[in-house]
Amino acid sequence: MIVTLDGPAGAGKSSAARALAARLGWWYMDTGAMYRAVALAALDRGVPLTDGGLLATLAESLTIEFRDGRVLVDGHDVSETIRTEWVTVATRPVADEPRVREVMKHLQRRLAAGRDVVTEGRDQGSVVFPGADLKVYLTACAEERARRRHREELARGSTASLADVLAAQNRRDDGDRGRPVGAMRPADDAVLLETDGLSPEEVLDRLVLLVAEHRP
């Protein structure tokens, strides 16, 4: 069975997807990490972020794996490096490139084949797995998402203000929604789950119920 979990940054998607996969004993696919991995490889190898053809060739040449909750590229653990700010910024043009998205789509389908999977991203229900048994679009209001991220960033030692975090998030949302291919949007048959005011445990409980209801 395939469950897709899409939605904007900061809606609690990653923790929800991870927790759901752990609860069900299923595989978890973090597709944001895959775009980040391509961006990191491009930075490392000096591939210009403006050259879509080269980026797609690079994406095709990489071996991206998930092992024990870690992300490996060509055998190297990049789990921490892909979360740094410079990689986050470089991921945008990579994720905007339709030829890279095409490579990622096929890779994501290959990785998920024959497995019970919770896959998380922006376009998993709408583009990559249109036939998924359950599609969830997880969201929360912009202020709530920014508050959560701000708390996380403070805990990591950042000094950014809440207003800065909200402004950066709005820019990311606009980019994710406005992308010509693979734009962030709920699939027509997605279940909308608003997480405002819900604890992570409550979100998980709702997801577990939805999975039970949608089992083929």
Among candidate residues 132, 122, 118, the one with its CA nearest the CA of residue 36: 122
Round to whole Å and give the CA distance between 139 and 189: 16
Binding part of the chain for ligand DC, among 54-62, 117-125, 132-140, 143-151 by CB under 6 A, reads: 117-125
Round to whole Å and give the CA distance between 146 and 169: 7
Q: In terms of CB distance, is 36 or 135 closer to ligand DC?
A: 36
Mark residues 122-161: x for contact with ligand DC by CB under 6 A, - for none.
xxx-------------------------------------
- For residue 193, what are the β-bridge partners? 138
Q: How far is the CB of 207 from ligand DC (least distance, A)?
A: 17
Q: How far is the CB of 127 from ligand DC (least distance, A)?
A: 8
| Per CB under 6 A, 93 contacts ligand DC | no
Mark residues 12-41: x for contact with ligand DC by CB under 6 A, - for none.
-------------------xx--xx-----
Buried b (16+ CB within 10 A) or exposed e, 155-175: eeeeeeeeeebbebbeebbee
| Member of 105, 182, 206, 211 binding ligand DC (CB under 6 A) | 182
Mark residues 48-87: x for contact with ligand DC by CB under 6 A, - for none.
----------------------------------------
Q: In terms of CB distance, is 69 or 205 closer to ligand DC?
A: 69
Cα angle at 155 between 149 and 158, to 5 degrees? Answer: 75
Residues 6+ apart with CB under 8 A from 25: 116
> Which stretches within the chain are classed as H helix?
13-24, 31-45, 52-61, 85-96, 98-112, 142-155, 162-178, 200-214
Binding site for ligand DC (CB under 6 A): 9, 31-32, 35-36, 91-92, 95, 121-124, 176, 182
